[in-house]
């Protein structure tokens, strides 16, 4: 029965991806307990922030990539989640000092404290109660965001594309303003940060003396994020996910197939906001504090970028792009922000040659693209050489100047490079890393491409020899 094979296939895919996630999780646990946490702060920062951003980007993709609703309110929903988490987890003893500007907090209830006391205050029971309280607070963070999404979804989702984007962006700004508002200070702490709430470090397992036995902070962050993404994947592959995709493809046809647009759009909006709220709680735990001003439109912009870079409609794309983006921003491209000098003249010349080669390659690439688009005349082609010429000109100038300073490097250059990468992606790889495919399909495509390439390279030398044997060898090589 073909329907059954289809099911089997999807089951195998689900099993493989679950196994992959489990392997990654195990790796993170091992890393966390072998690497020195103080000397490798940057690794764990990247991993945690990457996991949080992956979740929020995937939830944004559910809305933008799978339901076709162009919404930019995610920073607002993250803010709601972050604040909800903080407000319901700060221990009562700390409330006084956190809310010192407002003479204490209006809400004096902390889920972790409540369950910790319920299970015996200290020791293993208390720790378990603490963890349970934190998990409940995370769910509540999601529910708060979902509730607000339900409320604003009614009017906002009637709007079409660009208008929806503007309205949701405005919503996020309004939320941010409300949470910084002085009269609400006894709840939100006004413009000040909320802190002293339990974070990922509370998941580390300690012995009686308070020594850490097993570090779990990064892996718990990973596990929560992975669980949420897994749920989103299940949703997308369910009947409801198919309905969302139908709406994305053609609203009129979807309605004609009996899909209630208002209901399904709202459902997608609420679910997406729920996970954005959970992501906000995780983000709060990652930075150890919540402050409304961090959840600005620049954050939404970052998330949108991740979604676009990863590919609209690709879950694995969003997840991979989130880690790449965070790693570049926090780690790999940091060096661009500080000035430096070449250690030797040969280093300098190597740099100059590489830059010249890059300029030439860029020109070749642009020319090739133009040609493929059908440009033949010089008047159509010369603009493609312009950029390369400018870079080359600068390179020559730099070579002649004799300076040992590495060019470009200074504060803010990282953002310039980022913007250039984004422009390149938007101009040349509009479908992003994955398009709307998932990792396995994309890898298969890549393998097929390499195989074709290899065959092309081999054919002239092999001549009319034994094509069958060659093909067999290639297939074997790919396994």
Partner 1 sequence: MSENVLRIENLTMQFGGVVSVNGLSMEVNKGEFVALIGPNGAGKTTAFNCVTGVYQPTNGRIEFMGETIVRNHPQGRMARQYMGERATLYTSAYRGEDDPEALEAIEREGDGERRAQLRAQFDAEARERLESAKRRDPDALTNRVIAPTPDRITQLGIARTFQNIRLFSSLSVFDNVLIAKHMRARQNVFSATLRLNRREERRMREETMALLEEQDLARFKDEVAGSLPYGLQRRLEIARALATEPRLLLLDEPAAGMNPQETQELGEFIVKIKEKYELTVFMIEHHMDLVMQFCDRIYVIDFGKLICEGSPEAVRADRRVIDAYLGVVE
Given the rule CB under 8 A, which residues bind partner 1? 1-3, 6-7, 231, 234-235, 238-240, 242-243, 245-246, 249-250, 252-262, 267, 271, 436
Contact present, 65 and 307 (Cβ < 8 Å) = yes
Comparing CB distances to partner 1, the nearer of 66 and 111 is: 66
3-class state of residue 214 by DSSP:
strand
Comparing CB distances to partner 1, the nearer of 7 and 182 is: 7
Comparing CB distances to partner 1, the nearer of 2 and 464 is: 2
What's the token pair of residue 350? 């190597």
CB of 418 to partner 1, least distance (A): 30
Contact present, 218 and 44 (Cβ < 8 Å) = yes
CB of 426 to partner 1, least distance (A): 20
The alpha carbon torsion through 118, 122, 123, 126 (nearest 10 deg) reads 30
CB of 279 to partner 1, least distance (A): 18
CB of 252 to partner 1, least distance (A): 6
What stretch of H or E contains 37?
none
What separation in angstroms does the CA of 390 have from each of 137, 394, 413? 55, 6, 18
Comparing CB distances to partner 1, the nearer of 2 and 374 is: 2
CB of 20 to partner 1, least distance (A): 19
Comparing CB distances to partner 1, the nearer of 130 and 315 is: 315
CB of 74 to partner 1, least distance (A): 21
Comparing CB distances to partner 1, the nearer of 339 and 445 is: 445
What residue has token string 């009686």? 208
Comparing CB distances to partner 1, the nearer of 1 and 208 is: 1
Report which DSSP code applies to 430: T
According to DSSP, the residues that pair with 194 across neighbouring strands are 290
The alpha carbon torsion through 208, 214, 220, 226 (nearest 10 deg) reads -150
3-class state of residue 404 by DSSP:
coil
Q: What b/e readout covers 24-45, taking b as 16+ CB neighbours within 10 angstroms?
A: eeeebbebbeeeeeeeeeebbb
What stretch of H or E contains 289?
strand 289-290
What stretch of H or E contains 212?
strand 212-214
CB of 458 to partner 1, least distance (A): 31
Could you give the angle at the alpha carbon of 415 between the alpha carbons of 399 and 315, nearest 5°? Answer: 125
CB of 4 to partner 1, least distance (A): 8
3-class state of residue 405 by DSSP:
strand
Comparing CB distances to partner 1, the nearer of 93 and 257 is: 257
């Amino acid at each position: 029965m073909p329907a059954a094979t289809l099911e089997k296939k999807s089951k195998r895919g689900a099993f493989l991806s679950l196994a992959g996630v489990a392997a990654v999780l195990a790796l993170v646990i091992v890393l966390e307990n072998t690497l020195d946490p103080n000397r490798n702060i940057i690794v764990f920062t990247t991993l945690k922030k990457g996991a949080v951003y992956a979740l929020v980007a995937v939830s944004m993709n559910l809305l933008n990539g799978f339901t076709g609703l162009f919404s930019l309110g995610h920073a607002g929903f993250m803010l709601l989640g972050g604040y909800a988490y903080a407000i319901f987890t700060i221990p009562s003893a700390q409330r006084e000092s956190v809310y010192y500007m407002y003479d204490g907090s209006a809400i004096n209830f902390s889920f972790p404290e409540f369950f910790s006391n319920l299970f015996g205050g200290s020791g293993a029971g208390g720790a378990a109660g603490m963890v349970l309280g934190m998990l409940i607070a995370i769910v509540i963070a999601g529910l708060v965001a979902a509730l607000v999404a339900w409320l604003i979804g009614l009017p906002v989702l009637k709007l079409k594309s660009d208008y929806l984007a503007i309205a949701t962006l405005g919503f996020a700004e309004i939320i941010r303003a409300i949470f910084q508002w002085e009269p609400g200070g006894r709840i939100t702490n006004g413009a000040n940060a909320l802190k002293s709430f339990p974070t990922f470090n509370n998941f580390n397992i300690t012995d009686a003396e308070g020594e850490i036995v097993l570090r779990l902070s990064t892996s718990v962050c990973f596990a929560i994020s992975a669980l949420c993404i897994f749920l989103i994947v299940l949703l997308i592959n369910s009947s409801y996910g198919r309905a969302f995709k139908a709406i994305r493809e053609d609203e009129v046809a979807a309605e004609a197939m009996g899909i209630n647009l208002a209901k399904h759009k709202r459902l997608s909006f609420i679910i997406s906001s729920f996970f954005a709220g959970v992501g906000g709680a995780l983000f709060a735990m990652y930075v150890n504090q919540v402050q409304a001003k961090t959840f600005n439109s620049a954050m939404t912009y970052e998330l949108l970028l991740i979604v676009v870079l990863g590919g609209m409609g690709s879950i694995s794309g969003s997840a991979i792009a989130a880690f790449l983006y965070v790693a570049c921003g926090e780690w790999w491209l940091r060096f661009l922000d500080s000035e430096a000098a070449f250690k030797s003249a040969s280093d300098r010349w190597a740099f100059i040659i590489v830059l010249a080669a890059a300029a030439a390659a860029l020109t070749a690439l642009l020319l090739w693209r133009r040609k493929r688009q059908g440009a033949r005349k010089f008047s159509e082609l010369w603009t493609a050489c312009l950029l390369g010429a400018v870079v080359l000109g600068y390179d020559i100038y730099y070579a002649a100047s004799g300076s040992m300073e590495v060019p470009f490097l200074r504060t803010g250059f990282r953002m310039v490079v980022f913007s250039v990468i984004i422009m390149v992606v938007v101009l040349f790889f509009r479908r992003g890393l994955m398009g709307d495919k998932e990792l396995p399909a994309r890898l298969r495509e890549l393998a097929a491409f390499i195989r074709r390439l290899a065959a092309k390279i081999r054919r002239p030398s092999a001549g009319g020899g034994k094509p069958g044997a060659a093909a067999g060898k290639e297939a074997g090589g790919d396994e």
